[in-house]
Amino acid sequence: MKRKGYERFAVLRRSFPFYLCAFILILGAGSGLLLSKDGIPEDAKYFQITADNGVVLHVLRTEPSSISLYSINDNVVRSETNGINGGFFWDNQLLSIAVMDGIPVNGSPKEYGSGWFNIKYDRGTIVYDRVTGMVDVQRAASVDDLHMSDATKFWAQGGVSMNLKDESKWYNLAVKEERLPFPDDERLRSAMAYDNLGEIYLVVTSSKCTAGQFRTAIKRNVAVGNLNEAIFLDGDGSSQLLAGNVKLEGDARKVLQMIGVTGERR
């Protein structure tokens, strides 16, 4: 009897790694978030590019259905969620649109600083319509100005229009009309872009550059030949990224809002 007991224990011990792996896979599938070996969700890809103008781009590419917007009031790296910083803010007031399925991420609908408004200006806002699956940029002062199929089935992230298809007018639109801060200073930069298939690109620099240099680097190196449009996000010390083992914390400050890559959701 004692020998049989030892044999059963030996079998269980040999089988334990298999059962542990199976349990982890089931747990990951149940949560809807499967991570690759580098800690990035399976439906996302990270890559780094040094543009010919010297700007170093860090890019997270994913499907729009995998995007979630959060109010974190922390550094993106410390959030432990893959993604980048979001829109502009002041203290605990969000100055850019950030809405998930009709709910602003930092308060209640129509409340100042909640993420319902692009405060003061009509600004470029990327909108994903869950019903049609379409992504576009809309200039808006508030969520009330946006167009979508269902007011409870979309996300919207505000920033400043990059206007990638108009070389002669982009600067005037971004700087004079939408008031992009410090466009000609060399600073860290962040952006959200999408291609003709609707895939999303979250972009952060680890080198300082002007807004024009950043825009050029994106145009020439991200989704080449297939890039559609983009918006500038908050920048400088707020330019932050977490992509598995890649960590860019800006100047280590807290940001109010981030754009997370959290796996497929409908």
User: pLDDT tens digit string along 207-252?
Assistant: 999 999 999 999 999 999 999 999 999 999 999 999 999 999 999 9
Handedness of CA 104, 159, 64, 91 (dihedral sign): negative
Q: Tell me what pLDDT residue 36 has.
A: 57
Give the number of other CB atoms < 10 A from CB of residue 26. Answer: 10
Helix (H) or strand (E) holding 3: helix 2-31
pLDDT at 27 (0 to 100): 40
pLDDT score for 262: 87
- Given this model, what pLDDT does residue 85 score? 98
Buried b (16+ CB within 10 A) or exposed e, 144-182: eebebeeeeebbbbbbbbbbbeeeeebbebbbeebebee
Give the type of residue at 231. I
Kindly tell me the burial class for residue 126, based on how many C-beta atoms sit within 10 Å of its own C-beta (0-12, 13-18, 19 or more). Answer: buried
User: Would you give the distance in Å from CA 244 to the centre of its chain?
Assistant: 14
In the chain, what are the domain boundaries? 1-31, 33-261
CA 179 from centre of chain: 22
